[in-house]
Structure 1
């Protein structure tokens, strides 16, 4: 079992996160704290493999706690689950070695995906010996051929990444026409990718009713 320490100041959110984590095979929450200072004490005592931490917290915030974990050389990986969405905070958390960054609100599938990816990551380093560049690349990057194999016929991973990149760069909802113009594809093609992402729960449909004419379907990315 991968031992997890959960650091979250909202009791209700803490309990939901605990239930989510314990539902994923191979993970167990062994301790929970309501602030960074208490969380650091648990990490030192329980020596978990993984720390799942909020950023906005009293006493010692999440970023300070992550910095302290690194300063003390504690061998715990970190996944941030937080409402913090500003680029500066995200950059600092990633710079301090966070394995993943999940923004609130989020669905169970998102944390499950993060934990399963982390489990695969740990398993790759359980074996002793050296590692080839190809083996390392398979850990650090999602393979294009694997991504394409999962896509419906007629869609490709490169264009999908462009669509996701365009969507994630906009805080407001966008139309299929705007996506098409933004990345240089046909509107009907953009609509196919947007429909696919909606079915996967990656985008939310925002139907807007204006003046005379048909309502406009707009889409907003769900990180």
Structure 2
């Protein structure tokens, strides 16, 4: 069975996003849902909710923050990976000290991403995980050393499939950036969608990626009532 055929035939892998910051969690949700072959099954903002939702949803993958208001995310990872049908885990955290990274590796985390990160960094790792997951499901009862080596190679980010996906996304990002750059000030997702003829969801996804990549600035404009409007401008160097 080829990798391409497996990925095409397989259903989307489910992801649980865990982050104490609601806005950051929503950004990560947008990133995940922009990668073919994945869908977000739920969000958690505390350690207790992460454990509860993982038990209820049985996700294929958990994106796990470390600093949670009611506990240590790595302790959640320890509990999740001790389960018989454990999900894969990618740690996402601002912590970059060696002790924390070492503990995540020892617990069995698949990858470790230091926040803030852009869409491309997460997409590379998700795509690598998808390819390895599909390949592993096609194994016979016993794998050869060659099979095992191939799985670990596939888990490394930067596969050809991801490069193709990013190339397809690039024109939209450029169009969104150009629309912002051509404006006199800042634009909202609705403004961008109208200006270049794409959906508001696609515009918001691209704007979020560009802001996370440190290309655009985000301004929250408060009105008389309701949620603040998110407006984006070109970051001046």
Question: 1:135 maps to what in 2?
Answer: 147
Instruction: Check the 8 A contact 2:136/2:151 in 1, yes or no.
Output: no
TM-score, normalised on structure 2? 0.58
Tell me which of 49, 68, 71 is aligned to 1:57.
68
Displacement, 1:138?
2.0
Question: 1:40 maps to what in 2?
Answer: 51
1:23-44 residue CA offsets vs partner (Å, 9 max, x unmatched)? 0001001100101110110000
Displacement, 1:125?
1.2
Task: Kindly tell me the number of residue pairs found equivalent between the two proteins.
Answer: 146
Displacement, 1:128?
4.0
Q: Taking structure 1 as reference, are residues 14 and 116 closer, same or farther at Cα in structure 2, changes over 3 Å only?
A: same
2 CA distance for matches of 1:5 and 1:14?
Answer: 10
Instruction: Check the 8 A contact 1:81/1:103 in 2, yes or no.
Output: yes
TM-score, normalised on structure 1? 0.62
Residue 141 of structure 1 aligns to a residue whose secondary structure is: helix
Residue 32 of structure 1 aligns to a residue whose secondary structure is: strand
Residue 137 of structure 2 aligns to a residue whose secondary structure is: coil
Displacement, 1:16?
0.3
What's the C-alpha RMSD, in Å, of the aligned pairs? 2.0
2 CA distance for matches of 1:75 and 1:41?
Answer: 14
> Which structure has the higher relative contact order (CA within 8 Å, separation 6+)?
2
Instruction: Check the 8 A contact 1:35/1:61 in 2, yes or no.
Output: no
User: What 5-or-longer segments of structure 2 have no aligned partner?
Assistant: 1-11, 160-212, 214-237
The 5-angstrom pairing of residues 124-203 of structure 1 reads 124-129=135-140, 130-141=142-153
1 CA distance for matches of 2:89 and 2:23?
Answer: 21
